[in-house]
């Protein structure tokens, strides 16, 4: 048997880079991950914010040492177009005459206007060039007009903003120059002739015409409709379910009792699973519900400078006083205390840290949350999504660049030919003059003052005579071909997006000829080649593997491994009925399931041994901190304790939130929810609409979104069919598309009817939801979460764990920890639960666990060989005095504005050590249908495919073999 090999080929420009990366890694340069990330070199011109750190005030007069409000923040208006009415002609001409051919033909046209050398009419010379330039300008104008329309749609979209209150971050009256006043009057004149803006039906009230925000107070505070482009820094936003976020804003309060809200982030990171965001943990702020309370809240925000990092944000919020007790005398006292630089009482106030989990970004969409109140901190080009987008570049295809080189080469040949003619003219004139004398000179060249001038005129004439060496018709043909290619792409039924209900829109016609010249494809694995549906398969606890009994079948990677080794029998005979009967009997002997599934079709982890080992010790007690001596005859009581600690960790150490449904009373009730079958489901993402649909959605569609997901799917398919019919009415292939779409929309949604209560888990990562669901099905059910505590049901008994700190996962830490206080019935005390990559956890374990580490490491290697995603889990019991000392350091680090992440990571290093190893988990993410066939076709076309993954080497090789359908070339 030979092991599978890998014949991947690096791109030529990347080979040297790869060697340098390996060398740097061996020399310990990995510490650079703590340094600030820098952008890679690119031809794209990124936007660079001009402002630095900022302070945003709410209902607080700006201190004298900060000066007066200047309104210096950028507008929320976004411009992604390349041209406007003033710059179109010069910029477009510059873009076109960057082509060597256009410049060449322009030179030839100018030469053709010289009577001494011209052979044709100047009109015939200018007409082809003018035609090419005009057609290209029309094409560029159409492309840029589409960008203007998209910009106008977003800038004119509406949201609800607090009005009749003073935004102290802007002056009451803005001074305008005389030119801006003239332009403003012109704009107002043309706006009167336009129709009213489109109504936004997000709210059921009569305020349909957006107003202009100002600091004028004409009544009680209220939320009014304004356009996105008018949103300012320091404004209070009121967002409802389905609304898109117009600017980067800090969450102040939500409709949820725990202060959480759910957002859809696919327009930023491409991920469809919902993310959780939290309000600031200040009681007086998170209780804000009305416009009046917004106008009374007194606080300020110290924010970092705008940057393009979508996954990090540092700020802090300081509350002046409880706004329920504010009166005018207090405001006067506050003003008087800010009369000098040396007296600033804000330094004595408690500062609340704000991170990325408290921030809503522009292009986020609110989901499954009734309402959110937030304050804007970044607008327009200062928002993170715009800073990442860069300015609209001028793109040129590879063929166009090569044609420029060919034109220059042909031009050089043309000059050589003209020089040969000029030299020949000069030599012949010289010989004739010397042989025939002055008579020949006067008769042959009476209008030419000298032989040099005659040669020069011959050179220019030669350029004009031989100019057809570069045919101008070639460029006209190419422009027509690009236009027709864009038209065919737009009308291609195979590229119709059924979910978004839109065709493929070519936004840049210049790049259509690049489609057939792709040499490399770089692809992500999770969610791109895989389904992003995680299934909990196996686990290793105390050196013993559970779940390796063949219940869930073989993984894609194990199939690929057998294919690479020449195996033919890919299906083993497993008595699943016997395994299930034993598992169900042991489960019911342990506890009465309310939240756990007892339907074999919904479970991917079934092993009766786990309950047999648990039942060896009926009492729940704290794990042992001493040295482990793990072998095959491990003490049953200790193993039972390890299993309880293992699944308690899975139920506690996460950032998942839960929706708990009512008790199922009949079949119709059960159909309203969808069970997790020990894995996350695509149905957790309740909607897949774009921002445009959310901004202009009708009242009927808004109300229908509250119905069941099945009804929503059927209505969406019906609407999709109607639109497709109207868009492609004349196409004969429309019937087949409608039939296929209808059949896709009728697929059934599986329901787990064995659940007494359904727990709908929503997680930022599908891995987390899979782990929590697996613990729930074993009997460790996560029920509820607040900012301070979480409730866990363990075998029918509910326990409340106090949340002390959460050390979040990030790419540099590669682990997540949570510090909780156990309930007294479980032994009490402060415990740190930690999960992460095996190499990260192993180096932080306490001594004396070498045998357990060796066995767990061997199990992880076997999991990886089967293509499973592994995670190692451990815990530590903390001394109260040690924790109190550490908590003070962590509080200081979490409120730092500069280098907060590095300071928090340093604090985490102090406490995430001397851990006790519990085991490891193994999760599978199955491949999408048709992936092997698709890759084979791409490779058959000569395209090299690179898959970016964080899996272990063995996992990547086996999955790669499976994806290539056993091809030897991968």
**598-609, pLDDT tens digit by residue?**
888 889 899 999
Nearest in space to 413 (alpha carbons), one of 103, 99, 104? 104
The tokens for 860 are 């992880």
Kindly indicate the confidence band of residue 661, based on its pLDDT and cuts at 50, 70 and 90: low
| Distance of alpha carbon 765 from alpha carbon 272, whole angstroms | 10
680 is in an annotated binding site: no
pLDDT above 90: residue 836: yes
Nearest in space to 547 (alpha carbons), one of 623, 603, 618, 589? 603
Beta bridge partners of 371: 240
| Distance of alpha carbon 878 from alpha carbon 966, whole angstroms | 51
Beta bridge partners of 875: 833, 916
628 is in an annotated binding site: no
Kindly indicate the confidence band of residue 69, based on its pLDDT and cuts at 50, 70 and 90: low
Kindly indicate the confidence band of residue 627, based on its pLDDT and cuts at 50, 70 and 90: very low
Query: CB atoms < 10 A from the CB of 745, how many?
Result: 17
More confident residue, 417 or 470: 417
Over residues 348-399, the pLDDT tens digits come to 456 788 989 899 999 999 988 899 999 999 999 899 998 888 777 677 777 7
| pLDDT confidence of residue 560 | 63
| Distance of alpha carbon 622 from alpha carbon 551, whole angstroms | 31
Tell me if residue 837 falls in helix, strand or coil: coil
526 is in an annotated binding site: yes
- Tell me what percent of the residues of the chain surpass a pLDDT of 70: 69
Q: What is the DSSP track for 620-662?
A: --PPP-S-----TT--HHHHHHHHHHHHHHHHHSS--EEEEPP
pLDDT above 50: residue 743: no
The tokens for 38 are 């820098």
| pLDDT confidence of residue 31 | 40
Over residues 18-55, the pLDDT tens digits come to 333 333 333 333 343 334 444 445 555 556 666 678 88
Kindly indicate the confidence band of residue 730, based on its pLDDT and cuts at 50, 70 and 90: very low
Sole residue written with tokens 């109607």: 722
Kindly indicate the confidence band of residue 253, based on its pLDDT and cuts at 50, 70 and 90: very high
Neighbouring residues of 894: CB distance < 8 A, sequence distance ≥ 6? 353, 900, 904
Nearest in space to 674 (alpha carbons), one of 798, 868, 533? 533
pLDDT above 70: residue 727: no
More confident residue, 962 or 32: 962
Q: Contact at 8 Å (CB) between 507 and 146?
A: yes
- Which ranges constitute the DSSP H helices of 378-531? 384-389, 398-436, 438-444, 451-465, 473-490
678 is in an annotated binding site: no
Instruction: Give the pLDDT mean for 79-102.
Output: 86
Kindly indicate the confidence band of residue 339, based on its pLDDT and cuts at 50, 70 and 90: very low
- Please state the φ and ψ torsions of residue 909, each to the nearest 5 degrees: -60, -30
pLDDT above 60: residue 217: yes
| Distance of alpha carbon 50 from alpha carbon 72, whole angstroms | 11
- Tell me what percent of the residues of the chain surpass a pLDDT of 90: 23
The tokens for 316 are 């802090």
9 is in an annotated binding site: no
pLDDT above 50: residue 660: yes
pTM: 0.66
pLDDT above 80: residue 8: no
Mean pLDDT of the chain: 75
729 is in an annotated binding site: no
Tell me if residue 386 falls in helix, strand or coil: helix
User: In 305-390, which ranges are E strands?
Assistant: 315-319, 351-354, 359-360, 365-367, 371-378
Neighbouring residues of 133: CB distance < 8 A, sequence distance ≥ 6? 93, 96, 102
Instruction: Give the pLDDT mean for 62-67.
Output: 62
**How far is CA 593 from its chain centroid?**
38
More confident residue, 370 or 177: 370
More confident residue, 717 or 103: 103
Q: Contact at 8 Å (CB) between 165 and 58?
A: no
Q: Contact at 8 Å (CB) between 81 and 258?
A: no
| Distance of alpha carbon 724 from alpha carbon 745, whole angstroms | 15
User: Which value, in Å, is the radius of gyration of the alpha carbons in the chain?
Assistant: 35
Q: Would you please indicate which residues are annotated as catalytic (active-site) residues?
A: 524
Give the H or E element holding residue 13.
helix 12-26
835 is in an annotated binding site: yes
Q: Contact at 8 Å (CB) between 836 and 860?
A: no
276 is in an annotated binding site: no
323 is in an annotated binding site: no
Task: Give helix 451-465 / helix 398-436 axis angle, nearest 10°.
Answer: 140
181 is in an annotated binding site: no
| Distance of alpha carbon 808 from alpha carbon 818, whole angstroms | 8
Kindly indicate the confidence band of residue 919, based on its pLDDT and cuts at 50, 70 and 90: very high
Query: CB atoms < 10 A from the CB of 576, how many?
Result: 15
Q: Contact at 8 Å (CB) between 667 and 756?
A: no
| Distance of alpha carbon 188 from alpha carbon 193, whole angstroms | 9
Least confident range from 520-529, 664-673, 730-739: namely 730-739
Query: CB atoms < 10 A from the CB of 118, how many?
Result: 15
Kindly indicate the confidence band of residue 184, based on its pLDDT and cuts at 50, 70 and 90: low
Q: Contact at 8 Å (CB) between 58 and 299?
A: yes
| Distance of alpha carbon 647 from alpha carbon 469, whole angstroms | 78
Question: Is 624 exposed, middle or buried, given 0-12, 13-18 or 19+ CB atoms closer than 10 A?
Answer: middle
pLDDT above 60: residue 953: yes
More confident residue, 396 or 280: 280
| pLDDT confidence of residue 564 | 61
pLDDT above 70: residue 175: no
Kindly indicate the confidence band of residue 487, based on its pLDDT and cuts at 50, 70 and 90: confident
| pLDDT confidence of residue 962 | 60
Q: Positive or negative, the Cα torsion across 23, 28, 33, 37?
A: negative
Over residues 631-641, the pLDDT tens digits come to 444 577 888 89
Tell me if residue 909 falls in helix, strand or coil: helix
Least confident range from 160-164, 294-298, 368-372, 708-712: namely 708-712
Over residues 780-795, the pLDDT tens digits come to 999 988 878 999 999 9
Give the H or E element holding residue 253.
strand 248-254
């Amino acid at each position: 048997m030979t092991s599978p090999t890998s014949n991947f080929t690096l791109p030529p420009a990347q080979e040297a880079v790869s060697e340098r990366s390996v060398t740097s890694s061996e020399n310990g340069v990995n510490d650079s991950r703590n340094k600030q990330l820098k952008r890679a070199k690119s031809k794209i011109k990124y936007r660079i914010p001009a402002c630095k750190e900022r302070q945003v005030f709410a209902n607080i007069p700006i201190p004298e040492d900060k000066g007066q409000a200047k309104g210096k923040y950028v507008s929320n208006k976004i411009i992604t177009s390349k041209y406007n009415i003033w710059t179109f002609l010069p910029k477009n001409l510059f873009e076109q005459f960057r082509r060597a051919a256009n410049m060449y033909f322009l030179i030839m046209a100018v030469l053709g206007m010289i009577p001494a050398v011209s052979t044709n009419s100047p009109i015939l010379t200018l007409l082809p060039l003018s035609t090419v330039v005009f057609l290209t300008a029309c094409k560029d104008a159409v492309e840029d007009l589409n960008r203007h329309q998209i910009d106008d749609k977003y800038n004119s979209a509406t949201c609800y903003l607090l009005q009749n209150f003073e935004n102290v971050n802007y002056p009451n009256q803005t001074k305008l120059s005389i030119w801006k006043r003239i332009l403003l009057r012109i704009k107002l004149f043309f706006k009167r002739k336009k129709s009213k803006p489109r109504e936004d039906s997000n709210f059921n009230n009569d305020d349909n015409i957006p107003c202009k925000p100002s600091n004028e107070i004409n009544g009680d505070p209220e939320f009014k409709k304004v356009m996105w482009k008018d949103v300012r820094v320091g404004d209070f936003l009121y967002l409802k379910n389905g609304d898109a976020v117009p600017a980067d804003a800090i969450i102040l309060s939500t409709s949820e009792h725990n202060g959480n809200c759910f957002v859809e982030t696919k327009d930023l990171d491409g991920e469809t699973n919902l993310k959780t965001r939290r309000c600031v943990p200040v009681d007086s702020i998170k209780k804000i519900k009305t416009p009046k309370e917004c106008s009374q809240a007194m606080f300020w925000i110290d924010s970092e400078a705008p940057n393009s990092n979508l996954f990090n944000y540092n700020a802090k919020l300081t509350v002046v006083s409880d706004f329920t007790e504010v009166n005018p005398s207090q405001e006067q006292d506050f003003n008087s205390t800010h009369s000098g630089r040396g007296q600033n009482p804000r330094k004595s106030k408690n500062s609340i840290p704000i991170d990325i989990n408290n921030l809503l970004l522009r292009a986020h969409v609110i989901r499954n949350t009734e309402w959110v109140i937030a304050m804007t901190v970044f607008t327009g080009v200062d928002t993170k999504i715009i800073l990442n987008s860069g300015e609209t570049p001028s793109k040129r295809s590879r063929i166009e660049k090569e044609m420029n080189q060919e034109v220059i080469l042909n031009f050089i040949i043309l000059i050589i030919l003209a020089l040969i003619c000029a030299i020949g003219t000069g030599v012949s004139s010289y010989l004739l003059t010397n042989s025939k004398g002055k008579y020949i000179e006067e008769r042959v060249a009476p209008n030419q003052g000298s032989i040099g001038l005659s040669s020069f005129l011959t050179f220019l004439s030669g350029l004009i005579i031989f100019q057809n060496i570069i045919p101008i018709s070639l460029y006209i043909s190419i422009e027509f071909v690009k236009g027709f290619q864009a038209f065919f792409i737009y009308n291609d039924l195979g590229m119709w997006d059924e979910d978004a209900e839109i065709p493929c829109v070519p936004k840049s016609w210049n790049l259509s000829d690049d489609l057939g010249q792709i040499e490399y494809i770089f692809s992500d694995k999770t969610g791109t080649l895989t389904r992003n549906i995680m299934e909990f398969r196996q686990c290793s606890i105390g050196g013993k593997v559970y779940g390796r009994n063949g219940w869930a079948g073989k993984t894609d990677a194990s199939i690929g491994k057998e294919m690479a080794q020449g195996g033919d029998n890919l299906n083993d005979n497993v008595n699943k009925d016997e395994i299930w009967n034993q598992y169900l009997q042991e489960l019911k002997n342990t506890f009465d399931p309310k939240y756990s599934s007892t339907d074999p079709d919904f479970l991917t982890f079934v092993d009766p041994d786990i309950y047999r080992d648990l039942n060896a010790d009926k009492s729940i007690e704290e794990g042992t901190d001493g040295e482990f001596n793990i072998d095959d005859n491990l003490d049953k009581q200790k193993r039972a304790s390890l299993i309880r600690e293992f699944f308690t960790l899975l139920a506690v150490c996460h950032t998942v939130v839960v929706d708990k449904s009512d008790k199922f009373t009949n079949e119709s009730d059960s159909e309203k929810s969808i069970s997790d079958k020990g894995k996350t489901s695509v149905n957790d993402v309740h909607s897949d609409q774009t921002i445009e649909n959310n901004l202009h959605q009708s009242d009927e569609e808004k109300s229908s979104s509250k119905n069941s997901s099945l009804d929503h799917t059927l209505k969406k398919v019906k609407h999709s069919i109607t639109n497709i019919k109207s868009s492609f009415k004349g196409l004969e292939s429309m019937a087949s598309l409608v039939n296929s779409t209808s059949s896709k929309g009728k697929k059934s949604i599986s329901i787990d009817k064995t659940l007494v209560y359904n727990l709908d888990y929503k997680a930022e990562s599908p891995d987390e939801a899979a782990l929590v669901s697996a613990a729930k099905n074993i009997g460790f059910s996560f029920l509820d979460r607040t900012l301070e505590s979480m409730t866990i049901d363990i075998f029918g008994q509910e326990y409340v764990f106090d949340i002390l700190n959460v050390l979040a996962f990030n790419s540099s830490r590669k682990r997540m920890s949570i510090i909780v206080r156990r309930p007294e019935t479980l032994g009490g005390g402060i415990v740190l639960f930690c999960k992460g990559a095996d190499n990260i956890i192993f180096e932080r374990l306490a001594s004396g666990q070498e045998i357990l580490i060796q066995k767990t490491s061997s199990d992880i290697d076997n999991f990886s060989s089967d293509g499973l995603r592994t995670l190692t889990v451990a815990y530590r019991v903390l001394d109260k005095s040690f924790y109190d000392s550490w908590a003070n350091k962590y509080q200081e680090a979490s409120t730092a504005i500069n280098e907060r992440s590095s300071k928090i990571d340093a604090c985490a290093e102090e406490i995430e050590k001397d851990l006790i190893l519990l085991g490891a988990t193994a999760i599978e993410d199955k491949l999408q249908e048709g992936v092997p066939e698709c890759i084979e076709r791409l490779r058959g076309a000569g395209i090299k495919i690179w898959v970016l993954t964080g899996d272990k080497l063995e996992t990547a090789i086996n999955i790669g073999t499976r994806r290539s359908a056993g091809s030897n070339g991968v």
